[in-house]
Structure 1
Amino acid sequence: MAAKKCDVPQNINEEYYQISSEILSSFPKYRPPVDLFSFREDIAVLAPYCRKGDRLSNAQVEEVAQLCADGMLFVSRSDHPIYSRHIVKQLDLVLQDRNLKEAEIADICIRALVMRYGEFYAQPVKLLFEPLYRDLMVVTEYLFADKHRVIGFARRLFHVQEPARHALNCLSLGLWLWMQSVSEMRRKDLDRVALALLLHDVGMSKVPAFVVNKKGPLKQEERDKIILHPLLGVKIMQKMDISFEELIRACFEHHERLDSSGYPQHEPGSRISRIGRLTAVVDSFSAMIMDKPYGSRREPADAARELAQDNRYDAEFTRPLMAAFAAQTFGQLIDMDAHLVEAAQQ
């Protein structure tokens, strides 16, 4: 017999998540990691069912499953840090949970990608690329359903210099810029652009940490190591048989400049691909707003304005970026470094 869904008052979902069967099945069977609440139809309120960490009996496990099937099982939004840490590890669950708010989904997706990218960057092999790819495809599926959702990602910026954080800045802002520039968004194109933006700087994983973190000026031999990283990124991806055009171009061209002053090839603007020009803008912007061993960061609006005044970068992308920050298109910006620290303490 099909489960009968109860009519739950809408205001309950402001303070509680209604758990889906998919999410419940991903919890430890006998010790749920969150407080559970059941809906009492007779008085139209939620009542505590069990505390987080309590061991359920076999009968309670069956009862919880039935409550969930009937749409009568909830978790408090005060448990959001625990709930989101759980979903971060199984990101496809954000597509199943219709009670998550857009801001919550953006937070969870970014945290998942930071985790997956960090693991891949530390050891760039196919085995660690696959979970990163799966999670990125969850994000593109979510954004493809409604391109306006990308604003929730674009307002969440990192300021601590770290590879995964830099990659997420570039992904979020790069996708927003790309979506403004296309008249028709195809899922295949979205997937490829997203992967290119996220992985464009993976060659830096092969540059010694002492060079990357050096506070003073680089010696010539140290600069040479930096200059090689676009080529190293291409080689890493080709070794894994992941070498479609957008990704290779983003890896190889993100430090090229329209006036041929970039590297490694000193290509003129006419020979730099569109994805290369886009990636150059967001890569430089992210670097400018991050704290670095050799200098302080700029405010996002100042960094965007500076890029728009620099003719080495493509105005097709720098002008919309400057206009967005000037008009506060993204709304109140969120410092994701502080946000993650706060979530970890809860």
Structure 2
Amino acid sequence: MKNKNLISEELNEEFYQISSEILSSFPKFRLPLNLYIFKEDIAQLVPYYRAMERLDKRKQEELFELSNEGYIFVSRTDHPIYAKHISKQLDLVLVDKNLKPNEIVEVFKQALTNRVAEFYDQPVKPTLEKLQSDLLILVEYLWKDQFQIKSFLKNLHHNYSLPNMAYNTGITGLALFIETQGNNLAKKHLAQIGLGLFTYDLGLARIPKFILDKKENLTPDEQSKIHNHPINGAKILRKLDVTQSATLQCLLEHHEFIDGSGYPRKLSGSEISLQGGITSLAHTFNELLIKSNPRKSIKETIDQLMSMENKFNHNLIASLSRIFISELMK
């Protein structure tokens, strides 16, 4: 698509070009969103296509040619529809040059949360492969510009669910890993810990909901299920041929604390891996942030973590504070 800089900055706040590549990924005959065409003689966008109207072959060819030349636009008010579509074909986000960073983040958020929900519901090879594929796209996006992680941190979920927690913990954990690795960051390691962070509570997701929601005392068998869910989650990943220790440690150690008070193995100090320590801190941070009533601010949540410094690596807490306080609250 030719970059003609056709519209003014003011119009660009309301519309964005849609590439022929992305347009061709929609259903051929009925598109779910309105389209606009740029008229050079009046330098304005005017309606071209109304959502769900039928497109005949001639109109399809015309539309493809116009979009290839950079004349077709989408209203930003239709972004939720657009984002929902791209979230199912996440690789398209890497070729769309017209989305704002916050719009790209929303697409990733929707896509990865849905992929985690699908995998938690059915932890089998096909759902794992879809999640892995989307995570690799996230890694590729962050690898091009690691500072983009800040945009993700500004748009975490505010409501509790296991998939929402997985997304929040995944993004927070990746930010921590990027911060701690500095110039030693490797794309392969980012992908490995990414998979662990986004699936860390797989074992808990496999426990029946009535047990998780139970108000009265749990039976010994139910207590055992809760206590061993980190190990059981890692077992499921191993059965799906995930063998990288950096990934599995996220699941195995996300409830371990450096003072030895965690579970299931009561690890302490240096016995806890970097990946496990990051996941434990990222999980606790987001649990405090989402579940607090009334809702705490980020600063209040970090202050609370500071009071629990005997449970977490001091350097990791300092990194978390630096990421959120120094960067996001300027």
TM-score by length of 2: 0.93
Q: Could you say which residue in structure 2 is the equivalent of 1:261?
A: 261
2:200 paired with 1:200: yes
SS of the aligned residue for 1:183 comes to helix
Question: CA deviation digits over 1:222-244, x for unaligned, max 9?
Answer: 32211110110111000000120
Alpha-carbon distance change, 6 to 268 in structure 1, aligned in 2, over 3 angstroms: closer
Task: Describe the SS at the equivalent of 2:290.
Answer: coil
Q: Which of 294, 299, 302 does residue 300 from structure 2 map onto?
A: 302
Q: Give the Cα–Cα distance (whole angstroms) in 2 for the partners of residues 183 and 62 of structure 1.
A: 49
- For 2:325 and 2:39, locate their aligned partners in 1 and report how far apart those are by CA, in whole Å: 49
Give 1:90 shift: 1.1
Aligned-pair CA distance for 1:287: 1.6
Q: Where does residue 250 of structure 2 map in the other structure? A: 250
1:183-198 matched pairs, under 5 angstroms = 183-184=182-183, 185-198=185-198
- Map 1:1-346 to 2 at 5 A: 6-11=4-9, 12-184=11-183, 185-291=185-291, 298-310=296-308, 311-327=310-326, 329-331=327-329
Q: Which residue identity does 1:77 align to in structure 2?
A: R
Partners of 1:298 and 1:217 lie apart in 2 by 28
Q: How far is the alpha carbon of 1:264 from its aligned partner?
A: 1.1
Aligned in 2, Cα 1:309/1:229: closer, same or farther, shift over 3 Å?
Answer: same
Aligned partner letter, 2:19: S
SS at match of 2:16: strand
Q: 1:158 to 1:216 in 2, by over 3 A?
A: farther
Residue 245 of structure 1 aligns with an amino acid whose one-letter code is S
Contact 2:302/2:321 (<8 A) preserved: yes
Whole-angstrom distance in 1 between the partners of 2:91 and 2:45: 27
Tell me the matched-pair count: 327
CA RMSD in angstroms comes to 1.9
Q: Distance in 1 between matches of 2:61 and 2:94?
A: 25
Q: Retained in 1: the 8 A contact 2:120–2:206?
A: no
Displacement, 1:250? Answer: 0.9
Matched residue SS, 1:74: strand
Conserved? CA contact 1:291–1:297, under 8 Å: yes
The one-letter code matched in structure 1 to 2:238 is: Q
Q: CA deviation at 1:299?
A: 3.7
Q: Percent identity?
A: 39
Structure 2 portions without partners, runs of 5+: none
Shift of 1:217: 4.9
Instruction: Work out whether residues 290 and 296 of structure 1, in 8 Å CA contact, stay in contact via their aligned partners in 2.
Output: no
Q: Cα distance 1:4–1:20, how it changes in 2: closer, same or farther (>3 A)?
A: closer
- Deviation of 1:220 (Å): 4.1
8 Å Cα contact 1:155/1:331 also seen in 2 = no
CA distance in 2, matches of 1:300, 1:212: 27
Secondary structure in 2 matching 1:250: helix
Q: Secondary structure at the match of 2:291?
A: coil
Distance in 1 between residues matched to 2:288 and 2:5, nearest whole Å: 51
